[in-house]
Chains A and B, each alone.
Chain A
Amino acid sequence: MSKHSWKIGVGLASMLLGMLLVFQFRTETNVKTYLPQFTTASELGIKWNRMQTDLNKKEEELKRLRQLIQEYNQEEELKSLRMAAGVTPLRGPGVEITLTDVQRPLKSYEDPNLFIVHYDQLELLVNELWAAGAEAVVVNGERLVAQTGFSCAGTTILVGTRKLAPPYIIRAIGDAVTLKAALTIPGGFIDSQILPFELGIKIEIKDSLYLPPYRGSSVFNYAAVVPEETEEPTPVDGEAEVETDEAGEGWEIVGEGEVL
């Protein structure tokens, strides 16, 4: 025993040393994988400086974005959109135009069809008003919105689905002088559409006009909103695919994919 005891002692110590070395090595490699390899203080200082400038930049951006959020007023946007959609009654200065059929008795050879107000004349008038900067237009109490169209059914004019009867009173909110000038310009609407047919027209500038809201419904059965990020570019003129029938095809309307 005494002859070999040193082997046991030294062997045990060596074993302990080996284990310690392995554990220590393991710790060291773990530490090196977790910590970035920066050896000197100056390197760390440079890194710190860079991060500090980054932080400052981000903080400024944050401040700017916060301000944007504060400035962005949802109420305000909603209000203007409602005004544009025509769902709120409006009041403001503008013009009131009264359009009437011919007033004098017609002679026997005159075609009465020429001396009444037609739907296309109304539409031309309204278009002229929009082009002149009208903010809202009402025809005989019917507020014009994006889907409103003029048409005629027999002897009556339809605005949207509402039947109109003369006199036609058009109220438009906007710069009254400009609106009036747009209609009375030489060669303009009155010159080309009213005077030749001896129709009655009266343009009054009003300080305060009340425009009722659009009372109809807005139902979208077919259209779906496209998210802004997937919007397709609007085709430029000429590039658009124009689906026109060849001349002489007549009025045949072919539904896509339908069996006729």
Chain B
Amino acid sequence: MLLIPLIGIALGVGIGLFLPWEIPLSYKNYTALAILATVDAIFGGMRAELEGNFIFSKFIVSFFANALLAVGLAYFGYSIGIDIYLGAVVAFSIRLFNNLSLIREFLLIRYRQRGNEQ
């Protein structure tokens, strides 16, 4: 269960180290949002799988939609001088913790069920 994201992150880090790119300084805050959006998508995907209603297209679409919305909000905030991106950060963080707690519940329940079966 937890192995898939770990392998994915390791692969990503390997590819990232291999590629010579880096984020331009002015896009730093957008990357922060993008990272949060990805983490959110990972946990969301895991939760959906555990609930048994994972749909690949929905996963992809919601990931990009969330990321674009967050970046759009941040850009809008910068252009009017208000740190609206903080709103996106908070929203993503709350979703993260929600998803994490749900995943934890599921895993715990599954662990108990296995224990009872034995």
Contacts and interface: CB of A to CB of B under 8 A. Distances in A.
Q: Do A and B bind each other?
A: yes
Interface of A: 2, 5-24, 26-28, 30-31
Given A13-B38, A17-B38, A23 B16 contact: yes
Contact of A23 (B5, B22, B39, B60): B22
Interface size class of B (residues with CB under 8 A): 35 or more
Nearest to B22: A26
Contacts of A10: 4-5, 8, 41-42, 45-46, 49
A27 B96 CA distance: 25
B59 interface: yes
B35 interface: yes
B28 A14 contact: no
A18 B116 CA distance: 38
Given A9-B45, A20-B35, A14 B12 contact: yes
Nearest to B13: A18
B93 to A, nearest CB: 15
A67 B42 CA distance: 72
Contacts of A19: 12-13, 15-16, 19
Contacts of B12: 14-22
Interface of B: 4-17, 19, 21-25, 28, 31-32, 34-35, 38-39, 41-42, 45-46, 48-49, 54-56, 59-60, 63
Contacts of B8: 10-15, 17-18
Nearest to B34: A20
Contacts, number: 114
14 contacts: A6-B48, A9-B54, A10-B4, A10-B5, A10-B42, A10-B46, A11-B5, A11-B8, A13-B45, A14-B9, A19-B19, A22-B12, A23-B23, A27-B25
A22 B5 contact: no
Contact of B63 (A11, A13, A27): A13
A14 B23 contact: no
A15 B15 contact: yes
Contacts of B7: 11, 14
A6 B11 CA distance: 17
Contacts of A18: 8-16
A14 B48 CA distance: 16
Contacts of A6: 45-46, 48-49, 54, 56, 59
A11 B11 CA distance: 9
Contact of A5 (B6, B11, B31, B56): B56
Contacts of A12: 8
A20 B10 CA distance: 12
B101 to A, nearest CB: 18
B16 A7 contact: no
A17 B45 contact: no
A21 B16 contact: yes
Given A18-B10, A20-B12, A24-B35, 11 more contacts: A5-B55, A9-B41, A9-B59, A10-B46, A14-B8, A14-B9, A16-B12, A17-B12, A19-B13, A19-B19, A21-B35
A15 B23 contact: no
A30 to B, nearest CB: 7
